[in-house]
Amino acid sequence: MKKIFKRSLERNDKRELLLFGYSENQEKPSKELEITPAPTPHMRWNPSRQEWVTYSATRKVRTSFPPEEYCPLCPGAELNFPTEIPFKNFEIAIFPNRWASFNTNNRQLSIEGIETQPSNGECEVVVYSSNHKDTIAQMSLDRVELLFNAWSDRYINLMKRDDIKYVMPFENRGIECGVTLHHPHGQIYAYPIIPPVIQKEIEAFSKENFIEKLMKNWKAI
């Protein structure tokens, strides 16, 4: 496996921007975005679904469909305005979502008649490339491998935290799914609970290794 370099930059809001690459990034950071207020999402117990549901009011004001020349995920040092990534170039960048659905804040909100708890955890943005027009399908296998390694790094490190029980890297594609920025990127949601669907899958898996069974059948075809 090719050597992977990981660089951590402490942002002006004291949170961490990570760069993953096959070459070492030693660039001096350019101007950063202004500090945005830390998100304070909360969870409400839904008695009809018997599950916790996250509410993150600040997502209403997230950056939404900016003109291409103002893309906040493009390399900022190349432009005449700051972006999330204050460098001329990068391979993969990961940083906290400024409009997170999970963010450890321990703020206990009180709503009469509704059971609530803080929506602790972490939400991160994973930018796959410095090139605004890239897509995973067109990227080299090397770059895709780098992305898998960056996901693994985040999975291992987020799962070490006591406030996180489940880590899910994912990508929504297309405006139909709510994507508001076209620069190639995905997200990582690190939950403070195991989501009910995953809990069901864990229980099913503890009864029977259905993946092994499927693989055996698949080989037989």
Which residue, 4 or 136, is less far from Zn ion as judged by CB? Answer: 136
The residue within the footprint of Zn ion, chosen from 71, 93, 127, 188 (CB under 5 A), is 71
Cβ 72 to Zn ion, closest distance in Å?
8
Q: Work out the burial of residue 187: count CB atoms within 10 Å of its CB; fewer than 13 is exposed, 13-18 middle, 19 or more buried.
A: middle
Which of positions 126-145 make contact with Zn ion (CB under 5 A)? Answer: 132
Cβ 75 to Zn ion, closest distance in Å?
8
How many other C-beta atoms lie within 10 A of the C-beta of residue 146? 20
Comparing CA positions, the residue from 60, 57, 63 lying closest to residue 82 is: 63
The verdict on 188 binding Zn ion (CB under 5 A) reads no
Structure tokens at 103: 């963010």
The verdict on 183 binding Zn ion (CB under 5 A) reads yes
Which residue, 67 or 113, is less far from Zn ion as judged by CB? Answer: 67
Distances (CA, A) of 89 to 15, 76, 200: 20, 9, 43
Cβ 90 to Zn ion, closest distance in Å?
12
Which residue, 31 or 132, is less far from Zn ion as judged by CB? Answer: 132
Query: Which part of the chain contacts Zn ion (CB under 5 A), choosing from 16-24, 68-76, 137-145, 165-173?
Result: 68-76
Strand, helix or coil at 199?
helix
Task: Please list the active-site residues.
Answer: 185
Query: Which part of the chain contacts Zn ion (CB under 5 A), choosing from 71-79, 114-122, 168-176, 202-210?
Result: 71-79
Which residue, 89 or 116, is less far from Zn ion as judged by CB? Answer: 89
Q: Work out the burial of residue 23: count CB atoms within 10 Å of its CB; fewer than 13 is exposed, 13-18 middle, 19 or more buried.
A: exposed
The verdict on 74 binding Zn ion (CB under 5 A) reads yes
The verdict on 185 binding Zn ion (CB under 5 A) reads no
Q: Work out the burial of residue 38: count CB atoms within 10 Å of its CB; fewer than 13 is exposed, 13-18 middle, 19 or more buried.
A: middle
Length of the chain: 221
Q: Residues in the site for Zn ion, rule: CB under 5 A?
A: 71, 73-74, 132, 183
